[in-house]
């Protein structure tokens, strides 16, 4: 039984949907969606979906609905008696552990964001209390494992990264003088630092494409105008065919200030793009070996970010070498491997 709030567009939601679909080929899978929502990710017909219908229009409504969802989930767990339960996201992991208490069920949980991210005080306290009762925790990176072990006392923690989504390759598309960035337009993703680095690049034939929507859209456009690079910055919003952009670009830039796991970076590397990334918590340093299959830059170091981009722009040989090495990571993040790793960890002691 897999538990997540919704299947809205997002990294955790994509991984949960892919695990459900992969496992459903050989196992009976129950997918529990806690809240009312439209599904962005397709689910195989043989996956049994339970909609618990959480919604709220105010504080009182929220509390009442949370209690209803708790009892619905506990009832469902009693009825189905799954071999194991896997839940994503801190708040809902806590709910799942409480709902499964004293039911003699194996419960596994996984946080999906930066482990250093400050949680609300109550959630942080409840996580510390409840996670020690989980049968296991899945961390996405080595740093996440260390922090979770220290904060929860649970020693059964596996490091399993996100699976790579299938990448489409377009042999007929030629690479352009374009630096690509993919991510929501929010402070966390650091696009303003990329624009500031781009301003320092001497070769004015290059352009930047920033794919994604978010509250900073207008602010970033204004920033590009103030920097004098507006005419070379493309911001088409969220796009469906990201793989086509990966095929068109020649360099990928990842200036995030923090991450849970950098899916966009892995996809760009698997597509054969030489990448420059801030060495943020968490993920990039688990993936990039600086100078071998990409470049790592200290967070907010605009000067070095500009110099690394300049090196890639001006040297075809470096681009080609890093591109070739970057593409090799695909095998490590294949869906079949990652789904098998999850299943092996969650069923390790089932007789």
- Same domain, residue pair 299 and 199: yes
- Round the average pLDDT of the chain to a whole number and report it: 94
Residue of higher predicted confidence among 8 and 99: 99
Q: What pLDDT sits at residue 56?
A: 66
Is 84 a residue whose pLDDT tops 90? yes
Answer whether residue 193 is part of any domain.
yes
Q: In this predicted model, what pLDDT tens digit does every residue of 165-216 receive, in sequence order?
A: 888 999 899 999 999 999 999 999 999 999 999 999 999 999 999 999 999 9
- Same domain, residue pair 341 and 311: no
Confidence of residue 150 (pLDDT cuts 50, 70, 90): very high
Q: How many domains does the chain have?
A: 2
Domain containing residue 218? 178-332
Q: At what angle do helices 217-227 and 191-199 cross, to 10 degrees?
A: 10
Residues in the chain, how many?
A: 351
Lowest model confidence (mean pLDDT) among 58-67, 160-169, 245-254: 58-67
Is 351 a residue whose pLDDT tops 60? no
Q: Is 94 exposed, middle or buried (0-12, 13-18, 19+ CB in 10 A)?
A: buried
Q: With contact defined as beta carbons under 8 Å apart, do 102 and 136 qualify?
A: no
- Same domain, residue pair 217 and 272: yes
- Same domain, residue pair 182 and 143: no
Answer whether residue 172 is part of any domain.
no
Answer whether residue 12 is part of any domain.
yes
SS (H, E, C) the chain: CEEECCCCCCHHHHHHHHHHHHHCCCCCCEEEEEECCCCCCCCCCCCEEEEEEECCCCHHHHHHHHHHHHHHHHHHHHHHCCCCEEEECHHHHHHHHHHCCCCCCCEEEECCCCCCCCCCHHHHHHHHHHHHHCCEEEECCHHHHHHHHHHHCCCCEEECCCCCCCCCCCCCCCCCCEEEEECCCCHHHCHHHHHHHHHCCCCCCCEEEEECCCCCHHHHHHHHHHHCCHHHEEEEECCCCHHHHHHHCCEEEECCCECCCCHHHHHHHHCCCCEEEECCECCHHHHCCECCCEEEECCCCHHHHHHHHHHHHHCHHHHHHHHHHHHHHHHHHCHHHHHHHHHHHHCCCCC
Q: What pLDDT sits at residue 350?
A: 64
Q: In this predicted model, what pLDDT tens digit does every residue of 233-276 receive, in sequence order?
A: 999 998 888 999 999 999 999 999 998 889 899 999 999 999 99
| Mean predicted confidence (pLDDT) in 116-144 | 94
- Same domain, residue pair 198 and 254: yes
Q: What pLDDT sits at residue 106?
A: 97
- Same domain, residue pair 193 and 268: yes
Lowest model confidence (mean pLDDT) among 6-15, 134-143, 298-307: 6-15
CATH number at residue 318: 3.40.50.2000
Q: With contact defined as beta carbons under 8 Å apart, do 212 and 185 qualify?
A: yes
Answer whether residue 170 is part of any domain.
no
- Same domain, residue pair 119 and 184: no
Tokens of 163: 């699976």
Is 131 a residue whose pLDDT tops 80? yes
Share of the chain above pLDDT 70, in %: 98
- Same domain, residue pair 158 and 281: no
Q: In this predicted model, what pLDDT tens digit does every residue of 278-300 receive, in sequence order?
A: 999 888 999 999 999 999 999 99
Rounded to whole angstroms, the Cα distance separating 17 from 88 reads 12
Answer whether residue 171 is part of any domain.
no
Is 219 a residue whose pLDDT tops 60? yes
- Same domain, residue pair 277 and 147: no
- Same domain, residue pair 185 and 137: no
Answer whether residue 351 is part of any domain.
no
- Same domain, residue pair 203 and 123: no
Answer whether residue 246 is part of any domain.
yes
| Mean predicted confidence (pLDDT) in 61-82 | 92
Answer whether residue 168 is part of any domain.
no
Q: What is the pTM of this model?
A: 0.84
- Same domain, residue pair 338 and 327: no
Is 145 a residue whose pLDDT tops 80? yes
Rounded to whole angstroms, the Cα distance separating 236 from 244 reads 13
Share of the chain above pLDDT 90, in %: 83
The neighbouring-strand residues paired with 211 are 182, 237
């Amino acid at each position: 039984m897999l538990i997540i709030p919704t299947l809205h567009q997002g990294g955790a939601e994509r991984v949960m949907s892919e695990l459900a679909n992969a496992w459903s080929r050989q196992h009976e899978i129950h997918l529990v969606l806690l809240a009312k929502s439209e599904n962005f990710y397709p689910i195989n017909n043989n996956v049994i979906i339970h909609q618990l219908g959480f919604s709220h229009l105010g504080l009182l409504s929220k509390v009442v609905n949370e209690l209803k969802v708790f009892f619905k989930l506990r009832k469902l767990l009693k009825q189905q008696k799954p071999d194991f339960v896997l839940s994503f996201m801190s708040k809902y992991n806590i709910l799942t552990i409480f709902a499964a208490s004293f039911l003699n069920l194996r419960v596994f949980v996984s946080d999906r964001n930066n482990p250093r991210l400050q949680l609300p005080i109550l959630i942080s306290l409840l996580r510390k209390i409840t996670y020690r009762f989980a049968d296991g925790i899945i961390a996405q990176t080595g740093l996440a494992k260390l922090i979770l072990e220290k904060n929860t006392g649970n020693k059964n923690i596996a490091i399993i990264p996100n699976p790579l989504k299938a990448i489409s390759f377009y042999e007929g598309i030629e690479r352009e003088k374009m630096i690509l960035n993919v991510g929501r337009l929010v402070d966390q993703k650091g696009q303003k630092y990329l624009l500031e680095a781009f301003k320092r690049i001497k070769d004015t034939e290059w352009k930047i494409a920033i794919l994604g929507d978010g509250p900073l859209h207008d602010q970033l456009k204004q920033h590009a105008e103030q920097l004098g690079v507006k005419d070379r910055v493309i911001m088409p919003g969220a796009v469906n065919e990201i793989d086509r952009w990966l095929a068109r670009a020649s360099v990928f830039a990842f200036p995030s200030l923090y991450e849970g796991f950098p899916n966009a970076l892995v996809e760009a590397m698997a597509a054969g793009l030489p990448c420059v990334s801030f060495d943020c918590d968490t993920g990039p340093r688990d993936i990039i070996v600086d100078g071998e299959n990409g470049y790592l830059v200290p967070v907010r170091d605009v000067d070095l970010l500009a110099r690394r981009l300049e090196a890639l722009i001006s040297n075809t040989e470096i681009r080609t070498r890093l591109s070739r090495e970057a593409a090799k990571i695909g095998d490590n993040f294949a869906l079949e491997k990652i789904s098998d790793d999850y299943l092996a960890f969650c069923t390790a002691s089932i007789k």
